[in-house]
Chains A and B, each alone.
Chain A
């Protein structure tokens, strides 16, 4: 029954038409930002979209919040088609994008928030009460009457986040809510997100992130998205469980000669090697088919006159899941993406 899903998409796709660019001939004129997205998010879920920059997360949020038309497939939010039934969807949702400074700088924090409460039909008195509560929760009480132009970007972002929660949405979309926030503020936001979803089983929250820890520790379920496609979708525990067979090792080594990941990639049983050079030493991360493969790795290191400074076995993370799915880390993927299809 589709009515039970807060968010549902089928074969959802989005293509951006790029304007002609005379300087870069031979570039494609269309960019596939999303393709074949099938998602089902249950009421009450805190759902995460995890992927590197350019993966298509914001595009998906824009479609789900009625701002952007899909190019193919369909999406429903709270049971309504986001493209055809915008008028029914909008009262039930809200959206916040992180890492930007939006808002009316000439209004105070309280005025900004009050104004949006009016657009959602809230009674002024009730709105003020809730606004003040939320300002206290986010530690903004003493800034309530500050013009929002005079706030730091971090505090402005908190104001924006309050704007999202304030209107009591059934489905809330947060696009990289902690982007640009310091560690403490990020923790506050995550804590609030978790409490908000636990408070009322009718609420649903979808957030995007490119922070592994955020997806791992916060979300009930995570969809890993890259280059417009969902590669895996499950609870963080289940996603990591897939890698239970594998053995993951971090090695700090010091080498006389140049080390290259390629030296290890050909060894049987090595799924993935990542080499990060530091001053005077290097870090190697291995995802191995099983622990026994480690001896082959150590042999290769010895043959190359490499001294092992430290060796640790660790539990799989979502980063490892991403690496096994894509073949490279999120950071590498972002670099490759920005070289390939221009940002």
Chain B
């Protein structure tokens, strides 16, 4: 029954995500949007470094930015379902009355965003490898490390999304921006667009406390091993150590997610927020 409702939630998420009158436009949009994002980054990089695309910083930034798309897709995908169902479709109360596990339902709703997000990431990376000399060679890639890291990252982001979903339950107004705000805030502190060494020393601990930092590093190492050596940030940690740290942080994220969601869920029922709508 849990599996069935998860599948159904994923089906609903897909229906909503692909609700374009023209499938062709949907496909074009799915390609254009990530490439446009990457293009902005490439232009900025080119201006700042005067076109030094051979430096290891370029693949570092390019890949960090590409994989960071998962953060918006999965984490906000999970929490967005709360707002969407409560405010837009007015069905959140019916989901709550139904005998489903709400966290599982929310994660199911995000599956579609994970899939379209994966497509965006793939397009961006292929484009980078083909046209921007991002040094990825299939034979050099550590596929096992890549798969394990990617999977761990998805679990991590789903758990973070659940925490965010709990908080969203309690925020009626303007919670639309919460997901974006969190994703945007973490962007600067996760080594996505610049290594943590660039940050002032007193801000770096934030980056080290951020599981996404280790996740992105693992993904970069699995795809382009050489990049990691260029930056001192995490250079003295082995892949195994990075995996262990990430695993520990995921366990912690799971505890935080369960406690936060339960508490917020309880509070939402105390305060009568399950079916509260904001009238703009």
Q: Give A residues with C-beta under 8 Å from B.
A: 16-17, 62, 65-69, 87, 90-91, 93-95, 97, 100-107, 111, 115-116, 118-121, 163
Contacts and interface: CB of A to CB of B under 8 A. Distances in A.
Contact of B15 (A16, A67, A102, A106): A106
A100 B8 CA distance: 24
A91 B101 CA distance: 12
Contact of A102 (B12, B90, B96, B274): B90
Interface stretch (B117-125, B182-190, B264-272): B264-272
Contacts of A107: 12, 15
A103 B275 contact: no
Contact of A67 (B89, B91, B275): B275
Interface of B: 1, 4-5, 7-8, 11-12, 15-16, 19, 89-91, 93-100, 105, 266, 269-272, 274-275
Given A62-B272, A106-B16, A106-B19, A119 B8 contact: yes
B91 A65 contact: no
Contacts of A104: 12, 15-16, 89, 91
Contact of A17 (B99, B100, B271): B271
A120 B269 contact: no
Contacts of A101: 90
A121 B99 contact: yes
Given A62-B272, A67-B93, A119-B98, 7 more contacts: A67-B274, A90-B98, A94-B97, A102-B90, A103-B90, A107-B15, A119-B95
* Chain B interface, >50% SS class: helix
Contacts, number: 77
Contacts of B275: 62, 67
Contacts of A100: 90
Nearest to B7: A118
B99 A163 contact: no
A67 B95 CA distance: 10
8 contacts: A67-B97, A68-B269, A95-B94, A101-B90, A102-B89, A104-B89, A106-B16, A119-B105
Query: For B90, B97, B266, B272, which residue has the most chain A Cβ atoms within 10 angstroms?
Result: B97
Given A104-B12, A163-B94, A68 B1 contact: no
A151 to B, nearest CB: 14
B60 to A, nearest CB: 40
6 tightest A-B CB contacts, nearest first = A102-B90, A91-B99, A118-B8, A119-B98, A90-B99, A121-B1
A91 B5 CA distance: 13
A120 B99 contact: yes
Contacts of A95: 93-94, 97
A54 to B, nearest CB: 15
Contacts of B266: 69
A65 B272 CA distance: 12
Contacts of B97: 65-67, 90, 93-95
A121 B12 contact: no
B259 to A, nearest CB: 18
A4 B9 CA distance: 36
A115 B11 contact: yes
Contacts of A66: 96-97, 269
Contacts of A103: 89-91
Given A67-B269, A67-B274, A90-B99, A118 B5 contact: yes
Nearest to B270: A69
Given A90-B98, A102-B94, A69 B269 contact: yes
